[in-house]
Amino acid sequence: MKCPKCGGAKTKVVNSRARGDARARRRQCAECSFSFATAECAELPPLPLLPAQVEKKRGGLQPFDAKKLRESIYAALCKPLRRAEFADSLVAELEKEAARASPIPSRVLGEMVMERLQKADKGAYFRYASARGLPPAEWKTLAKEIADA
Ligand SMILES: [Zn+2]
């Protein structure tokens, strides 16, 4: 460490103590005797998110199954263009959100999928919902929404 006053290359540590998570040092220049403080702290990479866990309806956890989710979304999509791309990006997005909210109930995960599909592709929303056995009362609303879209 160079002396901030004279630029001299030789400084020595005259005092060192812990300050919170950092270490504070007092250094002194060998040439001009100027003394100054430095602080050292660890540079840590951001903590990686742990893999998402999904809470099953009847209790118990299972790992987020990106492949299975992708298949169910892909099967629901009808627009041939960008179908795979859409399913991939949606699953990647959901996996990240699930990891942040982990453990996430499977019902909530399902709702997240439905919400995204509803905005992006009404037909896919309809198919995804029917594959999951949506109650008949909701069918009429869905059919109407599709007719209106
Ligand atoms: Zn100096």
Q: Please name the residue that has the structure tokens 């840590």.
A: 44
Eight-state DSSP code of residue 52: P
**What is the distance in A from the centroid of ligand 1 to the CA of 23?**
22
Q: What pLDDT digit, counting tens, does each position of 95-137 carry? A: 999 988 889 998 899 889 988 988 888 888 888 888 887 766 6
pLDDT band, residue 50 (cuts 50/70/90): confident
Q: How far is CA 125 from the centre of its chain?
A: 24
3-state secondary structure of 58: coil
Q: What does the pLDDT read at residue 147?
A: 78
pTM of the model: 0.54
What integer pLDDT is reported at residue 135 of this predicted model?
Answer: 64
Query: What pLDDT digit, counting tens, does each position of 59-74 carry?
Result: 889 999 999 999 988 8
Compute the distance from residue 15 Cα to the ligand 1 centre, in Å: 17
CA of 25 to the centre of ligand 1 (A): 16
93, 41 Cβ separation under 8 angstroms: no
What is the reported pLDDT for 47?
66
CA of 104 to the centre of ligand 1 (A): 58
Query: Domain-by-domain residue ranges, the chain?
Result: 1-44, 53-148
> Is the pLDDT reported for residue 6 higher than 90?
yes
